A and B are shown apart, each in its own frame.
Chain A
Amino acid sequence: MSYKSSYLLAGAIATAIGLAVSPAQAGKSDDTLAWATDREVAVVDPYYNNTRELVVMGHLGWDSLLFRDIKTGEFKPLLATKWEWDGNKRIVVDLREGVKFHDGSDFDADDVVYTINHVSNKDSGVLSFKNVSWMKNAEKLGSHKVAINLHKPFPAALAFLSNVVFIMPSGHYDSAPTKADGKKDYGAVKAVGTGPYQFVEVKAGDYVLWKKNGNYFAGSPKGKPQIGNIKFRTIKEMNTQIAELLTGGLDWIWDVPKDQAERLKDGGKVTVENAKTMRVSYMAFDVHGRSGQEFFKNKKVREAVAHAVNRGSITKNLVGPASVVIPSACHPDQFGCAQDVPKWNYDPEKAKALLKEAGYPDGFEFDIYAYRQREYTEAVIGDLAKVGIKAKLNFMQYRALRDLVWKGKTPINHMTWGSNSIPDVSAITSHFFSGGRDDPAKDPEVIKALAEGDTATDPKVREAAYKKALTKISGELYWLPMFTYAKYYAWSNDLDFKTTPDEIPRFYTAKWK
Chain B
Amino acid sequence: MLQYMLKRLGVAVLVALTVSLITFSMIYLSGDPAIALAGESATEEDISNIRKFYGYDRPIIIQYLDWLWRALQGDFGQSHYLKSSVAGVIFERLPTTMLLGACAISFALILSIPLGVLAAIRPNSLIDRFALTIAVIGQAMPSFWFALTLMLWFGITWRLLPITGSSSWANFVMPAIALGYYVTPGVMRLTRAGMLEVLASDYIRTARAKGLRPMPVLFKHALRNAILPVVSLAAVQFGFMLGGSIVIETIFAINGLGFLAWESIQRADLPVMQAIVLVLSVFYIALTFLSDMLNAFLDPRIRVR
Contact present for A240 and B251 (CB under 8 Å): yes
Contact present for A204 and B89 (CB under 8 Å): yes
Instruction: Specify which of A128, A187, A235, A249 is in contact with B39 (CB 8 Å cutoff).
Output: A128
Contact present for B31 and A243 (CB under 8 Å): no
Contact present for A236 and B160 (CB under 8 Å): no
Which residues on the A side are within 8 Å of B32 (C-beta)?
399-400, 402-403
Measured between C-beta atoms, what is the minimum distance from B187 to chain A in Å? Answer: 26
Which residues on the A side are within 8 Å of B142 (C-beta)?
none
Measured between C-beta atoms, what is the minimum distance from B12 to chain A in Å? Answer: 29
Which residues on the A side are within 8 Å of B155 (C-beta)?
243, 247
Contact present for A21 and B161 (CB under 8 Å): yes
Measured between C-beta atoms, what is the minimum distance from A232 to chain B in Å? Answer: 13
Measured between C-beta atoms, what is the minimum distance from B278 to chain A in Å? Answer: 18
Contact present for A205 and B263 (CB under 8 Å): yes
Which residues on the B side are within 8 Å of A48 (C-beta)?
83
Interface 1/0 per residue, B136-174 and A, CB below 8 Å: 000000000000100110011001111111001111000
A122 at the B interface (CB under 8 A): yes
Instruction: Specify which of A20, A125, A233, A244 is in contact with B49 (CB 8 Å cutoff).
Output: A125
Size of the A side of the interface (Cβ < 8 Å), in residues, is 59
B 157-208 contacts with A by CB, 8 A: 159-165, 168-171
B45 at the A interface (CB under 8 A): yes
With the chains together, A244 CA to B159 CA distance in Å? 11
Contact present for B170 and A40 (CB under 8 Å): no
A419 at the B interface (CB under 8 A): yes
Instruction: Specify which of A20, A188, A249, A401 is in contact with B164 (CB 8 Å cutoff).
Output: A249
A50 at the B interface (CB under 8 A): yes
Contact present for B162 and A21 (CB under 8 Å): yes
Interface segment out of the listed B15-23, B211-219, B253-261, B287-295: B253-261
A 177-206 contacts with B by CB, 8 A: 179-181, 183, 185, 187-188, 203-206
Measured between C-beta atoms, what is the minimum distance from A228 to chain B in Å? Answer: 21
Cβ-closest chain A residue relative to B53: A125
Which residues on the A side are within 8 Å of B79 (C-beta)?
42
Residue among B41, B163, B255 facing the most chain A CB atoms (10 A cut-off) = B41
Which residues on the B side are within 8 Å of A234 (C-beta)?
253, 255
Which residues on the A side are within 8 Å of B259 (C-beta)?
205, 236
A417 at the B interface (CB under 8 A): yes
Measured between C-beta atoms, what is the minimum distance from B27 to chain A in Å? Answer: 10
Cβ-closest chain B residue relative to A235: B253
With the chains together, A16 CA to B168 CA distance in Å? 11
Which residues on the A side are within 8 Å of B78 (C-beta)?
179-181, 185
Cβ-closest chain A residue relative to B85: A180
Contact present for B169 and A127 (CB under 8 Å): no
With the chains together, A436 CA to B48 CA distance in Å? 13
Tell whether A17 pairs with B45 under 8 Å between CB atoms, given A243-B155, A399-B268.
no
A51 at the B interface (CB under 8 A): yes
Measured between C-beta atoms, what is the minimum distance from A440 to chain B in Å? Answer: 14
B244 at the A interface (CB under 8 A): no
A431 at the B interface (CB under 8 A): yes
Instruction: Specify which of B45, B84, B171 is in contact with A129 (CB 8 Å cutoff).
Output: B45
Cβ-closest chain A residue relative to B92: A204
Which residues on the B side are within 8 Å of A50 (C-beta)?
38-39, 41-42
Contact present for B164 and A17 (CB under 8 Å): no
Contact present for B30 and A399 (CB under 8 Å): yes
A 233-272 contacts with B by CB, 8 A: 233-237, 239-240, 243-244, 246-247, 249
Q: Please name 19 further chain A to chain B contacts, defined as beta carbons within 8 Å, in addition to the given A206-B165, A243-B163, A396-B31, sorted by A numbering.
A: A20-B162, A50-B39, A127-B37, A129-B49, A180-B75, A185-B83, A203-B255, A236-B253, A237-B253, A240-B163, A240-B164, A240-B251, A249-B163, A397-B30, A399-B35, A400-B30, A402-B31, A436-B43, A436-B44
16 contacts between A and B (CB under 8 A): A21-B159, A24-B164, A42-B79, A50-B38, A50-B39, A179-B78, A188-B83, A206-B255, A236-B250, A237-B251, A239-B148, A244-B163, A398-B35, A400-B30, A400-B31, A403-B35
Chain B contact residues, CB within 8 Å of chain A: 30-33, 35-46, 49-50, 53, 75, 77-79, 81-84, 89, 93, 148, 151-152, 155-156, 159-165, 168-171, 250-253, 255, 259-260, 262-263, 268
In the A-B complex, list the 5 residue pairs whose CB atoms are closest, starting with the nearest: A20-B170, A400-B31, A399-B31, A399-B36, A399-B35
